Amino acid sequence: MGGRAMSGRQLDGLVAVVTGGASGIGAAIATALAGEGAEVAVLDLDPSGADPRFAAFAADVSDRAAVDRAIAGVGERFGRIDILVNNAGIGAQGDIAANDDAEWARVFSINVTGIARVTAAALPWLRKSPSAAICNTSSIAATAGLPQRALYSASKGAVLSLTRAMAADHLREGIRVNAVNPGTADTPWIGRLLASAPDPAAERAALEARQPHGRLVSAAEVAGAVLYLVSPSSGSTTGTYIEVDGGMSPLRLRPA
């Protein structure tokens, strides 16, 4: 009798790859998927902080050879890949003129082409899965028109376009593709931004006050949406996204 039948967990017997899974939102996603029974492989630039329960693979998503090696390693170790969470990403500040060509190329290579590299490497495995699902981490920046985030917003908008295109291309192969758009989430990324302020505690309080629901989004809340989107419960949902932002984007609120 399979573990799925015995315990009733949604992802028993399935293998998930989470990029950027050593920190923040990715770590919360890895924990949520493991909590539903998935075997989790973390693919990260720096996997040293990954939960030791997970198989860790070091790879930069902007390096195709490294990605191919890491996904081959996951295949060798587990013999299958059912779920792929393309979550690794980096930020960029400033208006349209603030970043040079090299920085535009670097951010797109990680945030957008990184998804293409990892997905292309994992596709042969996903095609063999009876319940294949991909979730890409976009951002509120994709839809909200955030000031001083031109490059980052463009990259995350591209993540949504790519999500729809991937969903269309792989629909008939039984691979679902969706995205999650977090608002400002309480992760080491935001911690680093706050740490650079003259008074980090005051800056955090001000940031919380600017959120529609008066607090930062938790990484676990984002992970809950991702868990739904890669689970059989969302088996008829593909090519769309869930906003986990305290209502900012759906309610057309402006970040103050």
Residues that are catalytic: 152
Task: Closer to ligand NAD by CB, 89 or 246: give it.
Answer: 89
Nearest CA among 32, 78, 85, 38 for reference residue 61: 85
Rounded distance between C-alpha atoms, residue 126 and residue 90, angstroms: 26
- For 45, phi then psi, to 5°, come to -55, -40
DSSP per-residue codes, 28-43: HHHHHHHHTT-EEEEE
Minimum distance between the CB of residue 137 and ligand NAD, rounded to whole angstroms?
A: 4
Site residues for ligand NAD, window 102-131 (CB under 6 A)?
Answer: 110
Based on the shown chain and the rule CB under 6 A, indicate whether residue 137 belongs to the binding site for ligand NAD.
yes
Q: For residues 138 and 180, is the Cβ–Cβ distance under 8 A?
A: yes
Rounded distance between C-alpha atoms, residue 197 and residue 180, angstroms: 28
Based on the shown chain and the rule CB under 6 A, indicate whether residue 136 belongs to the binding site for ligand NAD.
no
Based on the shown chain and the rule CB under 6 A, indicate whether residue 246 belongs to the binding site for ligand NAD.
no
Task: Closer to ligand NAD by CB, 25 or 84: give it.
Answer: 25
Task: Closer to ligand NAD by CB, 46 or 169: give it.
Answer: 46
The token duo for 151 is 């490059």
Alpha-carbon distances, residue 153 vs 127, 137, 157, 206 (angstroms): 31, 13, 6, 22
Site residues for ligand NAD, window 171-190 (CB under 6 A)?
Answer: 182, 184-185, 187-190
Task: Closer to ligand NAD by CB, 115 or 131: give it.
Answer: 115
Site residues for ligand NAD, window 6-25 (CB under 6 A)?
Answer: 19-20, 22-25
> Binder to ligand NAD among 31, 87, 211, 231 (CB under 6 A)?
87
